Amino acid sequence: MEPGGYSWWYVDAISEEGRHGLTIIAFLGSVFSPYYKSSGRGDPLDHSSLNVALYGPSHRWVMHERPSSDVSRDERNLEIGTSAVRWDGNVLEIDIEERDTRLFNPIHRRVAGKVRVHPEALNPASFALDPAQNHIWHCMAPRARIEVEMEEPGISWSGSGYFDHNRGRESLESGFNMWHWSRAHMREGAVVCYEGERSDGSVFASAIRFNADAIPEEVDLPPIASLPKSGWRIERRTRSDIGVGHVRRTWEDTPFYARSELASKLYGEEVVAVQESLDMRRFASPVVQFMLPFRMPRKAAK
């Protein structure tokens, strides 16, 4: 990876009965790291982390930044500290051995277990989010079966999920002011909507529909559906046939982004969607930069 760059692998899932959810993000050159930003963004690998968020009855949130001495990787394996991500060509396996982070609470609970992601099909195409191709998005598996076996907390469930990869050659705040993203499973395939404003003021918006074989096709965007602002007053937006969306649960509510589970209607089907709104102007503010180390502490080099 070149200096200033980033790469992340993202998984989300909802359990079959709807009680549980999760997101897991493996970051190299963590785009939300205050340490990477203040360092001058020289060495991406020196700012790596595994973000694990469990939603529902046994909520946990993990994100400890690791130095490059704690990172090992090859084409199919990535180890970040005591956790690991492995790809065997068919299944993505994530071994988690972490401690959670809670504001104003010195007790960091163990978070440990295994998550397996079984893609229904793999998409070979990636998409540039800007004309200079500094930011690339690759929806690797628009649909996947997820198996969650957690030792701590002691929960196990299965459900449906999604898997993608983003990479870039500059910081997110250099490329974007804000974006709104959502993914929804259809009776066959899936739909991803991506829109936002770049740092130069230009806007972008697209809807991509994936068939059962994960082959993408750009389709007409449904109407904008405004959503209630988050608790931190982040503007949220999605797309819906009827211009209306409903927030079933807010998974993450922070000063610069919100992640939510929605009920919506797309291309004639009632769907459940995972949606994210991100405000990079908020992220870059001195107040947020001061707050971030309390939420994502950095491990010292060995």
**What would the 3-class secondary structure string for 76-115 be?**
CEEEECCEEEEECCCCEEEEEEEECCCCCCCCCCEEEEEE
Query: pLDDT digits over 206-231, tens only?
Result: 999 999 999 999 999 999 998 999 99
pTM confidence score: 0.96
Give the CA distances from residue 121 to residues 15, 44, 90, 144, 214, in Å, rounded to whole numbers and listed in that order: 20, 30, 9, 8, 6
Is the pLDDT confidence value at 5 over 80? yes
Q: Say yes or no: 198 and 164 in one domain.
A: no
Beta bridge partners of 216: 210
Q: Say yes or no: 162 and 182 in one domain.
A: no
Query: pLDDT-derived band of residue 104, with 50, 70 and 90 as boundaries?
Result: confident
Q: Say yes or no: 15 and 160 in one domain.
A: yes
Single out the residue of 94, 77, 47, 1 nearest to residue 299, CA to CA: 47
230 occurs within a structural domain: yes
Query: pLDDT-derived band of residue 109, with 50, 70 and 90 as boundaries?
Result: very high
> Can you list the pairs that 126-134 forms with residues at least 24 positions away whose Cβ atoms lie under 8 Å?
127/206, 127/208, 129/175, 129/176, 129/194, 129/204, 130/175, 130/198, 130/204, 134/168, 134/169, 134/170, 134/174, 134/175
Q: How many domains does the chain have?
A: 2
Burial of 90 per CB tally in 10 Å (0-12, 13-18, 19+): exposed
User: Residue 104: which CATH number?
Assistant: 2.40.370.10
161 occurs within a structural domain: yes
Q: Say yes or no: 25 and 159 in one domain.
A: yes
Query: pLDDT-derived band of residue 2, with 50, 70 and 90 as boundaries?
Result: confident
207 occurs within a structural domain: yes
Query: pLDDT-derived band of residue 107, with 50, 70 and 90 as boundaries?
Result: confident
299 occurs within a structural domain: no
Q: Say yes or no: 159 and 180 in one domain.
A: no
300 occurs within a structural domain: no
Q: What is the average per-residue pLDDT within 143-158? A: 98
Tell me the three-class secondary structure of 201-246, residue by residue: CCEEEEEEEECCCCCEEEECCCCEEEECCCCCCCCEEEECCCCCCE
Single out the residue of 256, 193, 188, 200 nearest to residue 220, CA to CA: 193
Q: Say yes or no: 118 and 206 in one domain.
A: no
Q: Say yes or no: 233 and 288 in one domain.
A: yes
Q: What phi and psi, each to the nearest 5 degrees, are found at residue 290?
A: -70, -35
Is the pLDDT confidence value at 301 over 90? no
Is the pLDDT confidence value at 1 over 90? no
pLDDT for the residue 302: 61
> Can you list the pairs that 286-294 forms with residues at least 24 positions away whose Cβ atoms lie under 8 Å?
287/255, 288/255, 288/256, 289/34, 289/37, 289/38, 291/255, 292/32, 292/33, 292/34, 293/34, 293/35, 294/103
Q: Say yes or no: 263 and 129 in one domain.
A: no
Query: pLDDT digits over 281-293, tens only?
Result: 999 999 999 999 9
Q: Are strands 269-279 and 236-239 parallel, antiparallel or unpaired?
A: unpaired
Q: Which of 137, 170, 203 is the last residue of a domain?
A: 170
pLDDT for the residue 299: 86
206 occurs within a structural domain: yes
Query: pLDDT digits over 15-35, tens only?
Result: 999 999 999 999 999 999 999
Q: Say yes or no: 258 and 127 in one domain.
A: no
Query: pLDDT digits over 38-93, tens only?
Result: 999 899 999 999 999 999 999 999 999 999 999 999 989 999 999 999 999 899 99
Q: Which of 145, 170, 195 is the last residue of a domain?
A: 170
Q: Say yes or no: 136 and 57 in one domain.
A: yes
Query: pLDDT digits over 162-196, tens only?
Result: 999 999 999 999 999 999 999 999 999 999 999 99
Residue pointed to by tokens 């960091």 = 108
Percentage of the residues of the chain whose pLDDT score is greater than 90: 91
225 occurs within a structural domain: yes
Q: Which of 122, 148, 170 is the last residue of a domain?
A: 170
Q: Say yes or no: 162 and 178 in one domain.
A: no
Give the CA distances from residue 120 to residues 92, 94, 181, 219, in Å, rounded to whole numbers and listed in that order: 12, 18, 22, 21
279 occurs within a structural domain: yes
The tokens of 176 are what?
A: 């974007």
Domain of residue 278, residue span: 172-294
Mean residue pLDDT across the chain: 95
Q: Say yes or no: 147 and 208 in one domain.
A: no
pLDDT for the residue 102: 79
Query: Under a CB-based contact definition with an 8 Å cutoff, are residues 71 and 80 in contact?
Result: yes
